[in-house]
Amino acid sequence: MRILTGIQPSGKLHWGNYFGAMKSMFDLQEKGENFMFIANFHAMTTVRDGAVLREATKDVALDYLACGLDPAKTVIYRQSDVPEVQELAWYLSCLTPMGLLERCHSYKDKMAHGFEATHGLFAYPVLMAADILIMQADLVPVGKDQKQHLEVTRDLCIKFNNQYGDILKLPDAYIPDTVATIPGTDGQKMSKSYHNTIELFEPNGSIKKKVMGIVTDSKTMEEPKEPEGNSIYELYKLFATPEEVAAMAASFRAGNYGYGHAKKALLEAYHRLFDPFRARREELAKDTATLEDILREGARKARAFAAPTMERVRSAVGL
């Protein structure tokens, strides 16, 4: 089974990235051939500064390696180091109905939040399809917000194969049932677009300030509170043990347990999990040559997988 996932270097990775995509990818490292790419082409829809994009790409690699990605088990590479992806994206574009892209909710959501309407942003699902299909992936871990894009990939795969023969493999989505939408500091979905994230490795003081500033209702400490749907509780469930989660829920329902108590418990749970990752990242950041070697070797392996597919695709389309 071949498993592929990707992440945009369009800003610092945050808690939503870790629990929404990264952790499930780490859990799958023992279950098949794993590929993980840093989607720097995709990031260009919003990042227009070359130096910023280059640094963000390095940061994503460091974050993943620090948090549990093993280069011996997962091929990690920069999207831009596999030019076959862009070539396949063009072939798919020539078969993509405009109406299919016009129905994609992610583009509409970006427009609603003030993003510039560009072709790159509009055609994002086609490039995503090329990322997946070039590697003949069987399984693609995605968040619920990306499920529609995976459905577009499947549609384009079927359309291409109907036109040119059975060349591309039809992928399936993997959406962990245990991970719901990760709430941000304002209660909305945690997203860089909404400026409500808590970064994985920002300074400890900044993390504490954001956690203690999570928006809550106006109930007093003495009042009983329903934990389900409470942002603090929902975040705590991601970090804590089942026993700890049950204890917090009971405390909320009993009363005399304030949001400040819950925020402190959340902060402690974060540090318990991430302090070892932070130490590992600091060590990795000191050796940039090794990091570059890992990414270049990943690109070499990825291109070796992509080449046979592209030979068949070029022949089929007449090139």
Active site residues: 110, 189, 192
From CA 294, how far away is CA 66, in angstroms rounded? 13
238: tokens are: 């991601």
Residue for token pair 């590992």: 280
Q: Return the closest-CA partner of residue 231 out of 186, 195, 192.
A: 186
CA dihedral 269, 256, 224, 207 (to 10 degrees): -30
Residue for token pair 């549990």: 68
From CA 249, how far away is CA 225, in angstroms rounded? 9
Q: Return the closest-CA partner of residue 214 out of 178, 187, 240.
A: 187
Residue for token pair 């060590």: 283
From CA 160, how far away is CA 1, in angstroms rounded? 22
DSSP-assigned letter for residue 190 = P
